Chains A and B, each alone.
Chain A
Amino acid sequence: MKGLLPTLLAATALCALGAAAQTPVPEIAFDSAPNPLALPDDIYLGEAAGVATNSKSDIFVYTRTGHPTVSLGTARAFAHGGSRLFQFDKSGKFVREIGANSYGFMYAQQVRVDPQDNIWIVDQMTNYVMKFDPEGRVQMLLGRKAEGVPVPGAPLRTQAIGGGAPGAGEQTDLFDRPTDVAWDGAGNIYVSDGLNNARVAKFNKNGVFVKSWGAKGNEPGNFGTARSIAVDGRGAVYVGDGGNKRIEVFDGDGNFKTAYTNVGNPQALCITPGANQVLYSSNSNPPNDIDTAGEIYKMRLDGTIIGKFGRAGKLPKEFGTVNAIDCRTDNTLYVGEIGNMRVQKLTLR
């Protein structure tokens, strides 16, 4: 009995931590490849907000390489620069930069590659979702960048870009700090939007705005923040609701189906292609703390947890605020980290 009390206390403390599942989650053994990306001497990754691969196993990294520069003394204080998109081959050799000095690149948020190998970036500050073809030419633009930025300091906006109060769920094709993009089998486009808005915006494959669902809130179908998004082979839409620490699942029309509440803050989501799809979700640690969370969960689409791996930290096999997971190959993942400004290539065993 004497020995039981500390155990009970420890168990209580574990429960209080919240995110962790009640039953022990199996640990998945894994390795991290040393130096997965060979960077030229004059290129440094900043916060590796986005990482994705195409069908040829090329690797794309959309990264925050500096802060936007503001041109003063103009009719509008114009902001530009701050992020870059790099392509590497499957061996990690640097291939090229895409979109250098693009009007749409300021604060990298995500990169994804669609089934046709088009490269899509999401920028949290220009509020663009941009589609590049495999050759790196701009094919489609969703959203629009504000023409000027407030200087100095940004007063809190009382109206969201696109109208309404921030997070009110306005029906609009303009974004406010969007976070991620995904597609269903018909090519419809789903954008998680985002950190100021809290909704999902749906477009058809031609970029026509179809509808938007969700608003700021903690009710089923709403979002604290819409941080990440993925679509499975049957068209179900999985949205990482970071603010409420849950993954919400919808059908393609935005009807709420279910929520998974036992995997923490789903800052990055990925669903594998192929027949037996699995869902990876990162319970990313906050950028100001490496002593909590950080693990990545491997789940079945119904929310059953298969296992977890990793923890927050700065060493290889530790994670510093994972913001992106690429899982084109079932057990070979690329993760992009904010805190450690790096990409890791993980092999699960």
Chain B
Amino acid sequence: MQRYLASLPAMALLLCAGPALAQLKAKAENVPEIPYDSVPNFLKLPAGEYLGESVGVATNSKGHTFVYHRSANTRLFEFDQNGNFVKEIGKGYYGFEFAHSVRVDAEDNIWTVDEGTNVVTKFSPEGKVLMVLGRRPSAVVGAQTTENQPGQKYLFCRPTDVAWDPQGDIFISDGYCNNRVMKYDKNGRFLAEAGSDKAGKDPGQFNLPHGIAADAQGNVYVADRSNFRYQVLDNNLKPKAVYDNVGVGWTVCVSQGPHQYLFASNSNPNGNRPGSWVITGEIYKMELDGTILGRFGHASKEFGGFQVVHMMDCRNPNEIVVGEIESWRVQKLLLKPEATRAVVR
């Protein structure tokens, strides 16, 4: 109780201070605009069902869409390729408390990352639990604080996202109260760690690693959110490159197919101050080496704009599915890269 009260002023400071506006604006300039359409009524929810904060979105090889969202309870929904509701997965599951990410691996297994339970779960394509990583803190000790425990190989502290290399090795960004990236083999055994429980600014250190993706060569891309950058790591988690010109580093996606692209979101912040919407909210399309190809989207509560993109699916680099926190919305964007044009802003 005492600690809870003591931390309130600190929390208020964090909420009010925020990053300077200068940091929010991406350094990249004169980036051409990629036109797009947002598919109307993309997801068709059954009557009486609602999405909450739609923090996790992913598609499988059949074009089904999975949404991991924060309702009164955290829930995972599956929709078919036409956006029709198929089913709920994990109803009442112990590893669900506060959604953060959902991803689908090469075998169409569905992985959830839950920052309330500190559990990462691998579900079969049918929705049965196949593997559990991390552990939910015991209820017996009462309402939990989010304290990390340095040096833990198999426990997370509000983890954020998951990715795989072509061998099936598992990468987890961990998270809000650790500041590290973990690598496990496909059977869940620890292999490597980059960063630590402490935040840092050097290459290979992180300050809120918030999203993660891997390419076909096994390189790992980390959205290093509070350092306002993306970091590229090699397969053994050694730092390779830093992309610090595309804004905050909120979430990251690598497309599939022979020519892979990198998508990075300079999401507008939670809690907006005057002016912040004008300079944030766009998504960048890049080559894996960091070359910027174009940008699309802007902050807006209205359909077609974004109200804090939390996650992107980019299986098809011309069909981007975005999940938004503050508008409780999932949109499917059809990009028209051939019509990319320079835009004067």
Contacts and interface: CB of A to CB of B under 8 A. Distances in A.
A107 B138 contact: yes
Interface string B186-201: 0111100000000000
A177 B1 CA distance: 22
Given A290-B154, A313-B188, A314-B131, A82 B139 contact: yes
Interface string B142-155: 11010001001111
Interface stretch (A14-22, A39-47, A322-330): A39-47
**Interface SS of B by simple majority:** loop
Contacts of A45: 94, 129
A47 B1 contact: no
**Interface SS of A by simple majority:** loop
Which residue, of B94, B97, B128, B155, has the highest number of chain A Cβ atoms within 10 A? B94
B132 A339 contact: yes
A106 B139 contact: yes
B127 interface: yes
Contact of A68 (B129, B132, B139, B141): B139
Interface residues of A, number: 43
Interface stretch (B85-93, B308-316, B323-331): B85-93
Given A152-B143, A153-B4, A42 B129 contact: no
A320 B132 contact: yes
A11 B188 CA distance: 28
Contacts of A13: none
A42 B92 contact: yes
B3 interface: yes
Contacts of A125: 139-140
A155 B1 contact: yes
Contact of A291 (B87, B140, B189): B189
A348 B189 CA distance: 26
A66 B1 contact: no
A44 B121 CA distance: 12
B129 A341 contact: yes
B321 to A, nearest CB: 25
A211 B298 CA distance: 71
A338 B135 CA distance: 9
A290 B188 contact: yes
Nearest to A155: B1
Contacts of A76: none
